[in-house]
Amino acid sequence: MNLKIIDTHAHYDDNAFDDDRYELLSSILSESVDSIITIGTSIEKSRFSVEITEKFDRVYAAVGIHPEDCENIPDDYIELLKEMSGNKKVVAIGEIGLDYHYDGYNKDIQIKIFREQLELAEELNLPVIIHSRDATQDTMEILREYKPKGVMHCFSGSAETAREIIALGMMISFTGVLTFKNSRRAVEACAAVPMERLMLETDCPYMAPIPHRGKRNNSSYTVHTAEKVAEIKGLTTEEVISICNKNAISFFNLKN
Ligand SMILES: [Zn+2]
Ligand SMILES: [Zn+2]
């Protein structure tokens, strides 16, 4: 295929890339990948993500505090994020949201940090990348209140929730989870999302699509998720990539 793909959500700061981070990025960007947004999850990781973008024209960053990293953050974290977002390669605030998956999470802190970052994004006029795991009800309640320019990433909720997110004016992005054999719910949700609201992502190094499931993921595998979307929507893979690329360019205001 000669159409290069945009991966809207990756974690190239991750230790899984320590041995070959820049070689891998150079190679996939020269072959099958058009652009990548690498996503921060803490102050340090957001900083590193911005640093990675400086080495490649077509790598962008999002800066933000992930719900699982909400504790022990500096008091002036909003100021620090604001400073980082002054860099022109920073295209979004994220990933932010709620994650009640593991025992011991602090709901009140997560909600407070989520809200503060939604307000920051509004002030900076940047889109937000939302992470929600086992927290649909609280996440949706906050999104209904803020109605951000946002994308719900790694979506694995129901078709009904997908429709509500769309009704709020938001985007939805899917990872390789869509290709898994037990992904019926995600497939139904994908069918409910209009093409103009859909984006593709890897969430690498995690969530590698079939046929790479269980291995380290990277942005070049986004094509397998595109193939699955094409099957669900009755389109060609090229059509899916072309539409999703356009959506990503306009949503994140990526420079051509
Ligand atoms: Zn996430
Ligand atoms: Zn992520």
Q: How far apart are the C-alpha atoms of 147 and 137, rounded to whole Å?
A: 15
pTM: 0.97
User: Higher pLDDT residue, 1 or 91?
Assistant: 91
CA of 145 to the centre of ligand 2 (A): 23
Among candidates 19, 20, 74, 16, which has minimal Cα distance to 47? 74
Helices 43-53 + 77-85 axis angle, to 10: 10
CA of 205 to the centre of ligand 2 (A): 9
CA of 153 to the centre of ligand 2 (A): 8
Tokens of residue 12, six digits: 């190239």
Q: Indicate the range of 68-72, 174-178, 216-220, 244-248 predicted with least confidence.
A: 68-72
Cβ atoms of residues 210 and 225 within 8 Å:
no
Domains of the chain: 5-252 (3.20.20.140)
CA of 79 to the centre of ligand 2 (A): 22
Q: What is the DSSP string of 21-78?
A: HHHHHHHHHHTTEEEEEEE-SSHHHHHHHHHHHTT-TTEEEEE---GGG-TT--TTHH
Among candidates 222, 65, 197, which has minimal Cα distance to 130? 65
CA of 242 to the centre of ligand 1 (A): 24
Among candidates 46, 138, 156, which has minimal Cα distance to 92? 46
User: Kind and range of the H or E element at 91?
Assistant: strand 90-99
Is a pLDDT exceeding 70 seen at residue 1?
A: no
**Chain mean position to CA 105:** 22
Is a pLDDT exceeding 80 seen at residue 33?
A: yes
Average pLDDT in the 146-161 region?
96
Q: Which residues pair with 35 in a beta bridge?
A: 6
Alpha helices by DSSP H, listed for 132-177, are 136-146, 159-167
Q: How confident is the model at residue 175 (pLDDT cuts 50, 70, 90)?
A: very high
CA of 98 to the centre of ligand 1 (A): 9
User: Higher pLDDT residue, 150 or 72?
Assistant: 150
Mean pLDDT estimate for the chain: 97
CA of 84 to the centre of ligand 2 (A): 19
